[in-house]
Amino acid sequence: MVSISSNLVARRTFLAGTAAASIMALPGCQSVGGFSMVEAIRRLLDISAKNAFARLTAPGGFWDNEVARFDLPELFGASGPLKLLLTSSAFRQGLQKQLNVVAEKGAERAAPLVYDAVSKISIPDAIGIVRGGSTAATSYLRGQMGRGLIDAMVPGLSDALRVSGDPVLGKAIKALSGVDLGQMAGSIATRADNSIWSQIGVEEGAIRAHPEVTKDPLLIGVFKVL
C-alpha cells in the first residue's frame, strides 16, 4: 500500500519535472509558476559543497582521496637543504602526506565561506548553468569567490604548521630557512583550493547524474529531464 506521503513526494517530483521541461523550452526564462531555476542551482551547490567538505574535513580527507590529494607545492621543493632531504623518497612521501593532513584545517576554514556564498550568490543565467557541463555550477561559484578561500585558509594553515609535532614536517620547516610560516601556508592553501573545488565539482557531477539520491523533488525534476 502506497502512503499519502509517498504520493505527495511523487506528485511534487512530477510537477517539478513538468515545470523544468517547460522552462527548458523557454530560453532565458528563470522561472515559471514560482518554480525557480536559481533555487535549483543553489540547492545543487549547497548539497555538493556539504558532501565535499564532509569528505575533506574527515581524517585523511585529502591524502586518502584521489581527487583531493595534492603533490608538494613548489615552495617545498625549490632549493637549499630541503631539496637534499627530498632525495629520500620516504621523506618526500612523508612530507607530502603531512601537508595533505594540514590542508584539512584549511578546509575547515573554507567550508562556512562557501556555504555563505551559496546562500547569497546571484545567478543571472541559471538556465545556462543548468544546461552546462557537469561542473558548470561549481565553476561559476569559484569564479565568483576568486581567491577568497585561499586568503581565508592561510591563518588556519599557519597555526597547523606551527603546532604540528610531526618530525618530517618539522625538518622541512627548519630546512626552509628564510621562509616564514605565512608563505608556507599560502603555498599549501593554493593547492588545497584546487582540491576543494575539484571535490565540489565531482559532487556536483554525481548529483547531476543521479539527482534521485538527494531526495529533493526540485533537483530531481530539473536534472532528470536533461
**Which tens digits make up the pLDDT trace of 31-40?**
533 448 999 9
Structurally, the chain folds into a number of domains equal to: 1
**Domain span at 96:** 4-223
DSSP class per residue in the chain: ---HHHHHHHHHHHHHHHHHHHHHTSTT--EETTEEHHHHHHHHHHHHHHHHHHHHTSTTTTTT-TTT-----GGGGSSTHHHHHTTSHHHHHHHHHHHHHHHHHHHHHHHHHHHHHHHH---TTHHHHHTS-TTHHHHHHHHHHTTHHHHHHHHHHHHHHHH---HHHHHHHHHSTT--HHHHHHHHHHHHHHHHHHHHHHHHHHHHH-GGGGT-HHHHHHHTT-
pLDDT tens across the length of the chain (226 residues): 434 344 444 444 444 444 444 444 434 445 533 448 999 999 999 999 999 999 999 999 999 999 999 999 988 876 678 889 999 999 999 999 999 999 999 999 999 999 999 999 999 999 999 999 999 999 999 999 999 999 999 999 999 999 999 999 999 999 987 889 999 999 999 999 999 999 999 999 999 999 999 999 999 999 886 5
**Which tens digits make up the pLDDT trace of 64-89?**
999 999 999 988 876 678 889 999 99
pTM of the model: 0.84
